[in-house]
Chains A and B, each alone.
Chain A
Amino acid sequence: MATHAAYMAGTKLSARSVLWSWITTVDHKRIGQLYGVSAFFFFLVGGIEALIMRLQLAQPDGTLVGAQRFNELFTMHGTTMVFLAIMPMSAAFFNFMIPLLIGARDVAFPRLNALSYWVFFSGALLLHLSFLAGAVPDAGWFGYANLTSTQFSPRQSIDFWMLGLQVLGISSLMAGFNFIVTIINMRAPGMTLMRMPLFVWMSFVVQFLVVLAFPAITVALILLMFDRFFGTLFYAPAGGADPLLWQHLFWIFGHPEVYILILPAMGIVSEVLPTFSRKPLFGAPVVIYSGIMIGFFGFGVWSHHMFSVGLGPVADSAFSIATMLIAVPTGVKILNWIATLWGGRVQFSSALYFSLGFIAMFTLGGLSGVMHSSPPVDLQQTDSYFVVAHFHYVLFGGSIFGLFSGVYYWWPKMFGKLLDERLGKVHFWLMMIGFNVTFFPMHFLGLIGMPRRIYTYAPDLGWNFWNMVSTMGAFVIMLSFLVFIWNVIATTRSGAPAPADPWDGRTLEWTIPSPPPVYNFATEPVVHARDDFWVQKHGDGHGTPPRKGAPAAHVDTSSIHMPPPSYWPILLAGALFVMFSGALVSIYQVVGGGLLTLYCMIRFMLEYHHGHDVGHDVGPDVGPAAGGHH
C-alpha cells in the first residue's frame, strides 16, 4: 500500500529488495505502517472470532461451536483486541505521527523502535501458533488463577498465552521508553511542553502508564510461569496461597491498560476537533491535566474489578470513591471537546464524524461505568452482559471510533492518498448503527441476568430476542469494515494524491509533503505557539498576523544524515522467539534461543562500533533532532 518509492526517490527496487528494505527498516514512518497493517489484520481476526461467538449466541442452545471452542474464541478475541489490535493501532500513530508532530526526524532510538515492532510480531505469532498446536488459550483474557494452574488447565493452551503476553510486554516496554525519551528530548526548538500537540501529550501519558503498568503483569506472568513449569505454588490455594494475588497483580496492570487503550484515542479526538471546527482546543491545559490525572488515578482503582471477590467494606469503599473520582477528569474532557465545537465552523469530514462518534459513544460507556463504580450496584452488573456492553462502549465506541478518526485524518499524510469521503461516511454510519445494535441490547441482557462467557443459554430466560438483535448488529459492523477496505483499495489504486495540508491543519505534520520524505523536515522547524502552523497561516486571532512562509532556505537534502537500515532488530526478535517458544518444546531450545538472543543483543549493541557513520548519507547533522540515534 505504501508508496515506498517516496522513500527512495528515483530508485527502482526489485521485489526482493523491497522486502529487504521493509524488514531492515528503522524509519519510524515505515515501522508505523507495519504496526498499522498488523493491527488492522489482527482487528479483523478478532472481529471474525467475535462474529462466530455472536452466531453461536444468536439463539438459545446454539450448536455452531462447542463449549471448548467458544471459550477459546472469547479468550483470543479479548487478548487479540487488547494486545494485537488496539495497542498496535495506537502504536502505528505513535510511530508515524509523534516525530512529525514534534518536528523531529525520527524517534530517539530508531533500531529499538524496529526491535519493538519485530518483538510484537513474534509475540503475536507465538500466541497464534496455539491454533496450529491445537491448544488455544481458553481461560479468558484476564486468565484468573487458579483456573490457569496445571491442575485445571493441563494442556499447553495457557503456556501459549502467558509466553505470548510476556513477549508482547517486552515490546510494549521498549516502545514506552523509546517514546518517553523521544518526546522529552527531540521536540523542535520552541516546542515547550505546553505547546506540545494534544495527541503527543496523551501519548506521553500512555508511555508512562506502559512502563509502570507492564511490570505488574510481567511479575504476575513470571509467577504463573513458575507455577506451571516448576511446580511453585504462588497461586495454589492447596499450598496456602491466595489466588486473588493474580487478580490484584493483573488489574494493577489491567486498569491502567484501559487508559493505555483510550488515551491515544482521546489525543486523536483532541487534534481532529480543533482542525475541523477551525478553533483551538477549548481549555487545552485542562484537557492535558485531565489526561495526567486519569493516568495517575488509573493506578488507584484496580480493585473495582474485584468488588465481588470479598475484599471487605473498607477496601470496597476506598476503591469506589477512587473510581468515582476518575470520572471527574473524564467528564471534564467531554465538555471541553463539545466546547471546542461551540462557536466553531464545523466541517463534517469523515475524520470528524468518527471523533463525534467517539464523544457520543464514549459518553455512554463512561456513564455505565459510573453505575458500577458503586459496589452494591456492581454486584449485580459485574460479569454480566451489562459489563460487556460497558467496556465495548468504552473500547469500541471509544478507542476504535477514535483510532478510525485518526485513520481518516492522517491517512493522506501516511500514504499520500486521500480516502474517499463519501465512503468514509458510509463506513461511519454503518459502524455507528451496527455498533449500537450490537452492544446496546447487551445492557438489557445484563440487567436481565445473562452472565458473560457462556457458550449457551436456556430458551426460557427472556434472552432470545436481544441476542438475535445483537448478532444482526455484528454483521452490520462487519459490513462497515468491508466498506473501509473497499475505500482503501479504491483510493490506493486511483485516488487523488494528497496535498501537504488537505485539512487546513494546525500542527507541524501538515507543513511537510504527503507522504513525508524520509528525513521528514528539510529544515528543523521553530515553534512559537501551540497550533503553530495555524498561527503561521491565519495569525493567532488576537492581533498577531500570519507569519508568511518561513523563509524557504534551500537545503541540500542529500546532506541529511539518517540512520542506516539494520537487520539486527528482526534477528534479535527472532532469537527471542526461539527462546520463548522453546519453553513449549524443550529446555535445549530455551538455552539455545537464550544464547542466540545474547549473541544478537551484543551484535545489536556493537553495530555502530565497527565503523562509524554508515548512514545513507554522510554529512553534517543539520540539527539536534537528527543526531539522536547515536
Chain B
Amino acid sequence: MRKSLLSRIPTALLLLAVALLLSSCGWSMWDSPMTTVRPKSGFGRITHEIFMLISWWTLGIGIAVEAGLLWVCFRYREKPGAPIPKQVHGHTLLEVSWTIVFALILLIFAIPTIPAIFKTQEAPAATALRVDVSGRQWWWEFKYPDLKVVTANELHLPAGQTVAFNLHAPDVIHSFWMPQLGGKRDVVPGRVNRLTLAPDEPGEYPGQCAEYCGTSHANMRFRVIVHTKADFEKWVAAQQRPPVQPTDPLAQKGQDLFSQSACVGCHTIAGISGGVLGPNLTHFGSRKTMGANLLANTPENLAKWIENPGHMKPGVLMPDLGMRGEQSKALAAYLLSLK
C-alpha cells in the first residue's frame, strides 16, 4: 500500500507541475507593477523578444529531456530475472550529432543576441532628453541638466521621447532598474554608465536598486512617472519655479526651523539652502512618496520620519536632529507646502 503511494509520486508531481505551468501562462501576476515581461519601451521589447525566443526553445528542450528521462527510467526499470544488459560503450556518430545539434540551437540564440547587444548600447541621438541619475545610499537623484530641474526618487519622463540616462555613483555600486521599461544598468563609482530608452505610454512604473549596496538596499526604491508630452512640460514648468512662500503659520514655523537647523547642511531648497548630501527638497510637496518611494507623502509619515529616520529606513544617513512633537509637525507642514 505504502509502496504504491511512493511509486505514484512522480506521476502526480509531473501532472501538478504541468498544471501549474499551464495556468501560470494566464495569471495576472505577469502584469504586476515590476513585471519584466510586459515591456513598455523599444529597449524592453528588443530584450523581451530574445527572452521569449530562448524561453520557448528551452521550455521545449526541458520538457523533452525530462520526459525522456522519465520514459527511459520506466522502460528500462529492473525486471526480475532479466539478463545483464548489453554492454554498450557509446556511439560516436550519435554523440557527434547531438553535440552539433546543441551548437546549432545555441547559434539560434546567438544570432539575434549579438545585434541586440549593439543596438541597445548605441550612443543616444543629440535630441534625446538628458537625465543625470545619481544612485546614493539609499535614494536616487534625478537631474535634468538642460531643463535646470533637480528632483529625487520620482523620475518624470515624457512618453515617446528618447531619454539618455547618464548614471553616476557618488558612493558605492548601485543598479538602476525600471523593470517595465527595460533591463538594468549598474551605477558604478568612477565611471559614467549609459542607458537609453523611450517609454511608450504614460503611466507609473516602480523601480528599485538591483545591486546590493548596504544596509537599506531593499529600501532604495523609486518611481517613474511617464506623462504625455504636454503634462511633462507642465511638470517641468512647475519644477522650474521657485517654491512658494508658506502662508500657513505652522508651515512658516517649519520654514524657520528648517533654515536655522542642520537640515540646510544636506538639503537644497531653492532660495533657502544649498546642501547636496541629501535629496533636493525644493518641490518636495509635489511628490507622492517619501523616503525613496517607501511611504505615502503624508504629514503623519513625514513627522514620524523626521523624528526617527532610522526606524523607517535602517542605516539611513540622515540623523535624528531632535525635532519632536510640534517641531516635526511644523517641518512636515513646511515641506509639504513646497508644491
Contact = CB atoms under 8 A, between A and B. Distances in A.
Given A146-B172, A147-B213, A370 B106 contact: yes
Contact of A347 (B78, B109, B185): B78
Contact of B173 (A147, A313, A327, A360): A147
Nearest to B114: A317
A313 B121 contact: yes
B82 to A, nearest CB: 5
A243 B184 contact: no
Given A429-B6, A447-B35, A343 B90 contact: no
A284 B55 CA distance: 31
A243 B186 contact: no
Contacts of A146: 172-173, 189
A359 B69 contact: yes
Interface in B180-198: 182-186, 188-191, 193-194
B69 A444 contact: no
B175 to A, nearest CB: 6
A454 B138 CA distance: 13
Interface in A316-373: 316-317, 320-321, 324-325, 327-328, 331-332, 334-336, 338-339, 341-348, 356, 359-360, 363-364, 367-368, 370-371, 373
B258 to A, nearest CB: 28
Contacts of B114: 317, 320-321
A285 to B, nearest CB: 7
Given A280-B87, A449-B33, A342 B76 contact: yes
Contacts of A22: none
B216 to A, nearest CB: 6
Nearest to B205: A449
Nearest to B294: A458
A542 interface: yes
Interface stretch (B59-67, B148-156, B274-282, B301-309): B59-67
A144 interface: yes
B326 interface: no
A328 B110 CA distance: 13
A123 interface: no
A408 to B, nearest CB: 16
Nearest to B82: A345
Interface string A455-485: 1111011110110000000000000000000
A450 interface: yes
B72 A342 contact: yes
B128 to A, nearest CB: 18
Contact of A448 (B30, B62, B193, B213): B30
Nearest to A329: B99
Contact of A451 (B37, B86, B185, B210): B210
Contacts of B9: 429
Nearest to B189: A237
A17 interface: no
Nearest to B295: A458
Interface residues of A, number: 105
Contacts of B66: 360, 363
Q: Find the residue from A241, A324, A429, A542 having the highest chain B CB count within 10 A.
A: A324
A282 B78 CA distance: 18
A66 interface: yes
B58 A370 contact: yes
B62 A363 contact: yes
B32 A448 contact: yes
Contact of A454 (B102, B120, B190, B217): B217
A441 to B, nearest CB: 9
A277 B189 CA distance: 56
Contacts of A347: 78
Nearest to A244: B188
B6 A310 contact: no
B35 A448 contact: yes
B58 A462 contact: no
Nearest to A75: B212
B208 interface: yes
B24 interface: yes
A345 B78 contact: yes
Interface stretch (A30-38, A374-382, A488-496, A611-619): A374-382
A336 to B, nearest CB: 7
Q: Find the residue from A285, A448, A466 having the highest chain B CB count within 10 A.
A: A448
Nearest to B104: A328
B327 interface: no
Contacts of B217: 71, 453-454
Nearest to B83: A345
Given A332-B99, A375-B113, A380 B32 contact: no
B105 to A, nearest CB: 9
B50 interface: yes
Interface residues of B, number: 92
B289 to A, nearest CB: 11
Contacts of B98: 331-332, 335
Contacts of B315: 67-68
Contacts of A373: 109
Nearest to A446: B36
Given A278-B85, A332-B102, A310 B188 contact: yes
Given A327-B106, A376-B113, A341 B76 contact: yes
Nearest to A310: B193
B236 to A, nearest CB: 28
A283 interface: yes
A347 B216 CA distance: 52
A379 B184 contact: yes
A320 B50 CA distance: 13
A377 B208 contact: no
A458 to B, nearest CB: 8
B314 interface: yes
A511 B212 CA distance: 52
B87 A449 contact: no
A321 B194 contact: no
Contact of A325 (B50, B106, B209): B106
Contacts of A339: 91, 94
A317 B95 contact: no
B254 interface: no
A346 B78 contact: yes
Given A66-B314, A278-B85, A344 B76 contact: yes
Contact of B184 (A327, A382, A429): A382
B87 A541 contact: yes
B139 interface: no
Contacts of A382: 184, 210
Nearest to A455: B218
Q: Ordered nearest first, which 4 A-B pairs have the shortest CB separation?
A: A379-B183, A449-B34, A462-B32, A541-B87
19 contacts: A71-B215, A146-B172, A243-B173, A308-B184, A310-B186, A316-B121, A327-B106, A332-B102, A336-B90, A342-B76, A343-B88, A344-B76, A344-B85, A376-B50, A377-B113, A383-B211, A383-B212, A446-B36, A451-B177
Given A68-B215, A144-B212, A346-B77, 16 more contacts: A237-B190, A243-B173, A308-B186, A334-B65, A335-B95, A345-B84, A346-B73, A356-B73, A360-B69, A371-B55, A376-B117, A379-B185, A380-B182, A381-B36, A447-B37, A454-B218
Interface of B: 6, 9, 13, 17, 24, 29-30, 32-37, 46-47, 50-51, 54-55, 58, 61-62, 65-66, 68-69, 72-73, 76-79, 82, 84-92, 94-95, 98-99, 102-103, 106, 109-110, 113-114, 116-118, 120-121, 137, 171-173, 175, 177, 179, 182-186, 188-191, 193-194, 206, 208-219, 221, 314-315
